[in-house]
Structure 1
Amino acid sequence: IVGAVLEYRQYAKLKSTYAEGLLKAMDPDGRIRTRFQMTVTATGRLSSTEPNLQNIPTRTDLGSEIRRMFIPAEGCVLVDADYSQIELRLLAHISGDEAMRAAFTTGADIHTATAAQVFHVAPGDVTHEMRRRAKAVNFGIVYGISAFSLSQDIGVTMAEAKAYMEAYFATFPGVRKYMDDVVAKAKEQGYVETLFHRRRELPEIRSSNFNMRSFGERVALNMPIQGTAADIMKLAMVAVEKRLKKELPEAKLVLQVHDELIVECPEDQAAAAAKLLEEEMEQVAHLSVPLTAEAHWGRNWLEAKG
């Protein structure tokens, strides 16, 4: 019965939170408008509320179908552009790790490249499962994940997870050095900064309580990366808005969801809007690895995700 109960809960959540909840949030003109909060998240990301449009499900096929319900005005399309692995690119830039920089500079798939190194196989021999585990390690490292949490995420023993992490650090020694240095510096200064010098105070990192101190260390690892990604996205939003007003005044920036921007524009302007989005998002910051964005368009949000 457990499977049936879990399935029921998934359907009930989609129905109440998204299908019915979004209908209730609709304005008289048929549009749904969210509120963006600037000062809610500690990392500096924008927070969407009433309704939360950053929380539309994407992990299941059925949940993704909710995005099909979001459509533009008559005669228009939605253009969706998102950054490719911005946090890992920032990790490569900030840590200065040569192997990671090389993977991004040559255009290699970072998760496949990591899997090849960690599992000691040629990139062409990397299996789907190897890539999945390497991806979990890549993103886990950014968030200061423990071997125990990684083992839970990818369904392996704690010893295996620890071995993956050790192999990862052997492959990317610059990342290990960055992690050690940023925590030490945070303990010394009592704060961490983004690349744009936006600061987060970290009194927790000097706490005598182990759990509080561990939390502070995880924040010290993550905030410079996720915070810088948030800064870059806000700069990109400003740059895109300015250029749209100048070149495509009928196009409107209508939504921001984490690493993606969504523009509504007349259908015959879709290619121009997509090009504009990619150019502005890629040029807004200059890193030691390419900052790449990819845009697609469609008659609804799901189609526009490409």
Structure 2
Amino acid sequence: MNCRTCRDTGRITLYRKVLDFNPSSPLQVSNLIRYFNLKMPRKRGENRETTEARYLKRFVGQARRSGESKEAAEQRREAFQLILDYRERQKLASTYLWQLDANDSVHTTYNIKPSTLRRASSAPNLQNIPKRSDLAQQFRKMLIAAPGHLLIEADAEAIEAVLVGYCAGSEEYVRICKAGLHGFMAAILAKQPIPYDLPYSELRQRCKEAKRKFGSGNGRTEYDTAKRGDHAINYLLSAYGLHDEYAEYFPTLKSAHEYLDLYFSLPFGAAIQKWQQDTIYRAHRETYLENHWRYRHYFWSALTFDKATNSWKPGPDAKRAVAFVPQSDASAIQSEVLRRLAARGEEVRSWLRLVIHDSIVLEVPEKAVDDACKVVYNAMVEPIAELGGLSIGAEVLVGKSLGTMEEWKP
């Protein structure tokens, strides 16, 4: 609301100027939240109001509230979904508008920025190419191979989960992770549990079927719920953290607690919990951890003393300590795979295009694709001496673009 004074009469005239709504404006989105009589979200750990996308998703999935008409609920869901859609497109336009060279290629600089030694890159960051939405797939279709070539993406299957099982000394967990942990957990959520003691080939097939059956492609949420929950729990995220970080999959604190309790009640749960606790206490006692390649990370606050309860509790470094060995081992394994590929000669080295957290992308002449798939597959599944001969599974995809890939089978 504004006002102005007429020079001739001295009378004050009130007027209202309606401006276009800006979905990127925290102030305007905050006003919209209050317009719908919704509680302003507060950012976990910072105790400040926020309009981040992960919190707005709650308003889209929220059931009709007491006193809210059906029309108002639909209007609320539609309004916040439009904001989320706009922001997703805006992010694609701003984050992924890369500077291309004369060959229409983009180049990045690799580094190891996270202290847990996960692979990273910058200028631009090619580690976070979108993947899990229709819009993301359209974007990935723009990342294409040169004429006469195809792209090969070789993905280390569930590598960090497998390494968590190895660190925890749980052969059962390693077996389930290799078969398909998230599909296994999704089947439990869908009340169609898969028996533990199936022969491995059948267990893997059933887990793959569960991934398809209970995935977003079939309008189901069990698989995505399991995927978010499993990784987060392994790295010490609490029930509150699950609900706060992934509210669309854990809409209530109760649902997050139930999944956490389910996870740790399974036969492998006790081993995972013991490994987490032992890791934190070792990091506190020795002030450092080493992975299986002798990479060392120092920790100064794995535990903190709580005077109120007269006890030690996980400190600011606890989550990082738990994540360090699996994540740094995964990075070391990927480096070993790259070394094996480089040892194959100049031709194979010339095919390398992109290294992401747990996958490698190559651009290969069409006539050499099958041989290249065999080379990269064998390099990825080779037993690892530092891990007692443990082998990580691999999925190899082939296509003209990153958005049109099909599985290659060895």
> With structure 2 as the length reference, what TM-score do the two structures score?
0.65
Q: Which amino acid aligns with 1:28?
A: A
Moved more, 116-125 or 83-92: 116-125
Residue number in structure 2 paired with 1:144:
236
- Give the 5 Å matches for 1:215-234: 215-234=316-335
CA contact 2:110–2:121 (8 Å) conserved in 1? yes
Residue number in structure 1 paired with 2:104:
30
Indicate the structure (1 or 2) with the bigger Cα radius of gyration: 2
More helix by share: 1
- Give the 5 Å matches for 1:1-306: 1-18=79-96, 21-22=97-98, 25-38=99-112, 40-104=113-177, 108-115=179-186, 121-123=192-194, 128=214, 129-152=221-244, 153=246, 154-171=249-266, 172=268, 173-207=270-304, 214-245=315-346, 248-249=347-348, 251-283=350-382, 285-286=384-385, 287=387, 290-304=391-405, 306=407
How far 1:273 moved relative to its partner?
0.7
Q: Which amino acid aligns with 1:26?
A: L
How far 1:177 moved relative to its partner?
1.2
Structure 2 residue runs without a partner (length 5+): 1-78, 195-205, 215-220, 308-312
Moved more, 167-176 or 271-280: 167-176
Q: 1:55 to 1:108 in 2, by over 3 A?
A: closer
1:45 is paired with a residue whose SS is coil
CA contact 1:186–1:205 (8 Å) conserved in 2? yes
Q: Percent identity?
A: 26
What's the RMSD between the two structures over aligned residues? 2.7
Counterparts of 2:306 and 2:111, CA distance in 1:
32
Q: Which amino acid aligns with 2:331?
A: A
CA contact 1:79–1:297 (8 Å) conserved in 2? yes
1:143-174 CA distance string (max 9 Å, x none): 21111112342224323322322232221221
Number of equivalenced pairs: 296
Q: 1:199 to 1:209 in 2, by over 3 A?
A: farther
Q: 1:133 to 1:251 in 2, by over 3 A?
A: same
Counterparts of 1:230 and 1:73, CA distance in 2:
28
Counterparts of 2:235 and 2:362, CA distance in 1:
30
How far 1:56 moved relative to its partner?
1.6
Counterparts of 1:250 and 1:111, CA distance in 2:
34
How far 1:112 moved relative to its partner?
3.4
How far 1:186 moved relative to its partner?
0.9
1:240-281 CA distance string (max 9 Å, x none): 122253xx4585211101111011121100111111111001
Counterparts of 1:119 and 1:181, CA distance in 2:
33
How far 1:191 moved relative to its partner?
1.3
> With structure 1 as the length reference, what TM-score do the two structures score?
0.86
2:104 is paired with a residue whose SS is coil
Counterparts of 2:368 and 2:320, CA distance in 1:
42
Q: 1:75 to 1:102 in 2, by over 3 A?
A: closer
CA contact 1:232–1:284 (8 Å) conserved in 2? no
Q: Which has the higher contact order (CA 8 A, sep 6+)?
A: 1
How far 1:227 moved relative to its partner?
1.3
Counterparts of 1:183 and 1:163, CA distance in 2:
24
How far 1:303 moved relative to its partner?
2.3
